[in-house]
C-alpha cells in the first residue's frame, strides 16, 4: 500500500507541474497585456487657411496628436510634409514643393485621421494686369460725387478666360461692379480700357477698386487695385486736381445801405464790414480781399433805390452811385444765376468746372436761389440766398457761401 501511494504522488507531479507552468505563463502574459497603453484615436477638427501657394503655413487643429513631431506622419494631398511645430492639439507645416490640392491626413501610431476640408494649392497667375490713375492725382482724397478714373491694361499669353471689376469698402469682401463697362473678349491676349467710377460711399470710407483677370492656363486670378479715401465736402479736389473749398458758411446775415448791418465781405472769411468803415478798419490787403457787397437799387438798376436787392462787385459800386469805398483797392467780382437750389453735395470739381470767368458786376437776387461768382483772385464759389427781410433800402440778407480756398503760390 505504501509503495502504491508514492507512485501515485509521483504520477500526480508529472501531470501537475506542466499545468502549473502553463498557468504561470498565462498569468504573466496577461499582466504584460494590462501594461500596454490603449490605442489613441486621432481626430482633425479644422485646417486653415484653405487656400495658398507653396510655402503657405497650414495649421491643423484636432486631438490626440503627438507633441513629438517625428511621431506624427502628415500628408497634404498624399504628399508628405515636414512639421514646423507639434502639440497634442495643433500641428503646423508649410506647403511643400510639388504638393497638389487635397485633404490633410495625420497618422499617430496605427490611428489615422483625414480632414473634411480640402486645401487648394494656388499657382501664381501668368496673366499680368496693371492699374494707373488716368490723371495726375496728387492725393487719394475724393469727395462724394466726384469721379475716380483709372487706366487698366491686361496681358494674357494664352488668352483671357475671365475678367471682372470689383469694389471693396473698408476691407470688406469685394463685390462685383454691375455697371455696364468695356470688357475683353474671351481669348484676347491683350486689353486696355479706361474706367470712371463715381464716389457714392460715406465720408471716411476707404474704397478699393479691383480688377481681376484669369489666363486660360491660370488657376488663380491676377489682380490689381487702386484705393481712395472719401473725405468731406470740399476737402478732396478730385484727388488734388482742383482747389479745395472753405467750409460752407451757415446762413450769415448781411445788411444793405439803409441799415447798420455789414454790407461788405470777403467770401473766404466769415467776417464782414460796413462800407463806410472799411477804409479806416482794414489794411490795403484786407480791402482788396473784399469781393462781395450788397445793396438795393432802383427799378432801372442804375442807382441806389428801394427795388432790387443785389450782389455788387466792389469796383461797380461807384458807377451805381454807392460810392467808391475802396478806391484803387476795389476788386472785381462777376456773378451769375445758376440752375441749382442747394449747396449740399457741391464738390470741388463742380466749383472748378461749372463756373466760368464771365458774369455780371451786379446781380439781382431772390430768396431760395443760388448764384455763382468768381473774384479777382480767381477764386470761384456759390452763394445761396436763404432769406431777405425788411423793405425799401433797409434789408437784411441771409446767405450761405461755398468758395474755393485761396490759391497757394509755390
pLDDT tens-digit series, residues 319-339: 999 887 778 888 999 999 999
Average pLDDT, the chain: 88
pLDDT at 9: 41
pLDDT confidence of 35, banded at 50, 70, 90?
Answer: low
For Cα atoms 158, 160, 161, give the angle at the middle one, nearest 5 degrees.
105
pLDDT confidence of 125, banded at 50, 70, 90?
Answer: confident
Report the C-alpha gap between 290 and 278 in whole angstroms.
9
- Which single residue is written with the C-alpha cell 423793405? 391
Give the lowest-confidence range in 6-20, 74-88, 169-183, 373-387: 6-20
The residues near 256 (Cβ < 8 Å, ≥ 6 apart) are 263, 294, 295, 296, 309, 390, 393, 394, 395, 396, 397
pLDDT confidence of 26, banded at 50, 70, 90?
Answer: very low
Helix (H) or strand (E) holding 87: strand 83-87
Q: Where in the chain is the domain with CATH 2.60.40.10?
A: 43-121, 128-240
Joined together, the cell numbers standing for residue 4 give 502504491
Q: Indicate if the pLDDT at residue 12 is higher than 60.
A: no
State residue 27 phi and psi, 5-degree precision.
-65, -45
Question: Residues 5, 76: contact at Cβ < 8 Å?
Answer: no
Domain 128-240 maps to which CATH number in 3.40.50.10490, 2.40.30.10, 2.60.40.10, 2.40.50.140?
Answer: 2.60.40.10
Q: Indicate if the pLDDT at residue 3 is higher than 80.
A: no
CB neighbour class for 131 (10 Å; exposed up to 12, middle 13-18, buried from 19): middle
Check residues 250 and 227 and name the one with the higher pLDDT: 227
Of 164, 206, 215, the C-alpha closest to 188 is 215
Strand-strand pairing, 57-63 and 72-76: unpaired
pLDDT tens-digit series, residues 231-254: 999 999 999 999 999 988 888 888
pTM listed for this prediction: 0.70
Report the C-alpha gap between 236 and 142 in whole angstroms.
4
pLDDT at 285: 85
- The mean pLDDT of 64-74, rounded to a whole number, is 95
Strand-strand pairing, 51-52 and 111-121: parallel
Question: Residues 87, 106: contact at Cβ < 8 Å?
Answer: no
pLDDT tens-digit series, residues 265-287: 899 887 788 877 777 778 888 88
Look up the CATH number of domain 43-121: 2.60.40.10
How is 210-270 classified by DSSP, letter by letter?
Answer: EEEEEETT-SS-EEEEEEEEEE-TTS-HHHHTS--BPPPEEEEEEE-TTSSS--EE-TTSS
Q: How far is CA 232 from CA 228, 235, 319, in A?
A: 13, 6, 41
Report the C-alpha gap between 207 and 41 in whole angstroms.
49
Percentage of residues in the chain having pLDDT higher than 90: 71
Check residues 174 and 53 and name the one with the higher pLDDT: 174
Q: Indicate if the pLDDT at residue 85 is higher than 60.
A: yes
Q: Indicate if the pLDDT at residue 182 is higher than 60.
A: yes
Amino acid at each position: 500500500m505504501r509503495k502504491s501511494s508514492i507512485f501515485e504522488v509521483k504520477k500526480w507531479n508529472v501531470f501537475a507541474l506542466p499545468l502549473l507552468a502553463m498557468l504561470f505563463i498565462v498569468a504573466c502574459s496577461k499582466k504584460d497585456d494590462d501594461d500596454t497603453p490603449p490605442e489613441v484615436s486621432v481626430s482633425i477638427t479644422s485646417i486653415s487657411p484653405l487656400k495658398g501657394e507653396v510655402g503657405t503655413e497650414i495649421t491643423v487643429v484636432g486631438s490626440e496628436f503627438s507633441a513629438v513631431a517625428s511621431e506624427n506622419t502628415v500628408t497634404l494631398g498624399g504628399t508628405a510634409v515636414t512639421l514646423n511645430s507639434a502639440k497634442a492639439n495643433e500641428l503646423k507645416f508649410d506647403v511643400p514643393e510639388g504638393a497638389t490640392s487635397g485633404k490633410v491626413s495625420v497618422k499617430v501610431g496605427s490611428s489615422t485621421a483625414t480632414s473634411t476640408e480640402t486645401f487648394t494649392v494656388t499657382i501664381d497667375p501668368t496673366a499680368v494686369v496693371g492699374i494707373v490713375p488716368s490723371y495726375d492725382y496728387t492725393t487719394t482724397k475724393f469727395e462724394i460725387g466726384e469721379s475716380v478714373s483709372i487706366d487698366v491694361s491686361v496681358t494674357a499669353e494664352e488668352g483671357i478666360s475671365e475678367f471682372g471689376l470689383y469694389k471693396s469698402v473698408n476691407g470688406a469682401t469685394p463685390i462685383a461692379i454691375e455697371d455696364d463697362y468695356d470688357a475683353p473678349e474671351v481669348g484676347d491676349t491683350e486689353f486696355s480700357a479706361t474706367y470712371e467710377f463715381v464716389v457714392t460711399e460715406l465720408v471716411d470710407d476707404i474704397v478699393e477698386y479691383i480688377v481681376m483677370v484669369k489666363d486660360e492656363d491660370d488657376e488663380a486670378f491676377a489682380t490689381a487695385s487702386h484705393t481712395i479715401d472719401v473725405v468731406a465736402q470740399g476737402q478732396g479736389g478730385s484727388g488734388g486736381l482742383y482747389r479745395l473749398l472753405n467750409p460752407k458758411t451757415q446762413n450769415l446775415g448781411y445788411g444793405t445801405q439803409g441799415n447798420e448791418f455789414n454790407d461788405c465781405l470777403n467770401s473766404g472769411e466769415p467776417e464782414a464790414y460796413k462800407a463806410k468803415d472799411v477804409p479806416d478798419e482794414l489794411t490795403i490787403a484786407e480791402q482788396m480781399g473784399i469781393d462781395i457787397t450788397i445793396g438795393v437799387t432802383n427799378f432801372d438798376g442804375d442807382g441806389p433805390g428801394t427795388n432790387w436787392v443785389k450782389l455788387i462787385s466792389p469796383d461797380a459800386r461807384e458807377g451805381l452811385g454807392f460810392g467808391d469805398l475802396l478806391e484803387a483797392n476795389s476788386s472785381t467780382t462777376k456773378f451769375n444765376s445758376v440752375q441749382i437750389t442747394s449747396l449740399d453735395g457741391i464738390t470741388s470739381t463742380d466749383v472748378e468746372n461749372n463756373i466760368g470767368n464771365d458774369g455780371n458786376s451786379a446781380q439781382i437776387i431772390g430768396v431760395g436761389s443760388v448764384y455763382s461768382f468768381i473774384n479777382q483772385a480767381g477764386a470761384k464759389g456759390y452763394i445761396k440766398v436763404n432769406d431777405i427781410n425788411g423793405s425799401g433800402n433797409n434789408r437784411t440778407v441771409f446767405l450761405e457761401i461755398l468758395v474755393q480756398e485761396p490759391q497757394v503760390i509755390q
